[in-house]
Amino acid sequence: MKNSLLIIFSIVNLFSFSQETIADVLKKYNKESIPYITANELATPRVEAVLLDAREIEEYKVSHLKNAIHVGYDNFSLIETKKILSDNDAMIVVYCSIGVRSEDIAEKLKKEGHKNVYNLFGGIFEWKNNNFTVYNSKEEATENVHAFSKDWSKWLLKGKKVYD
């Protein structure tokens, strides 16, 4: 009986962890100080935004959103980014793999006076999960998506996962 209860508890526990959503992860790691924009909202033709990719250059080269500007995370330069973003009222959408690193970069921009800054909910993973196109370093559409790590890649449900 004890073994049966232990097995049942283990299965329930395992099942509950596997049911974690991107929203749960973002609540866990983010302060949610920056408003989210969804992939579907961003994809509407009426939304004009400056897209900033807050991932590392290796990730960006594998896959990025069309017209996105790479700003990175580990070596992010607020000074260099400010040169690109001269209009403090322009809509800016920052993204990364799922939306954790991008919140940090978006917060820095907001502190610098940018008023219209958003974090892409679910990042490039959710973009691809919604069947939107990503582009490689040659600006060609690709199914490859840099998956960041084996642990984080579980949130990427579509496309081909790349880790290098």
Catalytic residue list: 96
Closest-CA residue to 156 (of 110, 134, 133, 123)? 123
pLDDT at 5 over 80: no
**pLDDT tens digit sequence for 85-124:** 989 999 999 999 999 999 999 999 999 999 999 999 999 9
Domains and CATH numbers, the chain: 21-162 (3.40.250.10)
Residue 3 to residue 29: CA distance in whole angstroms: 35
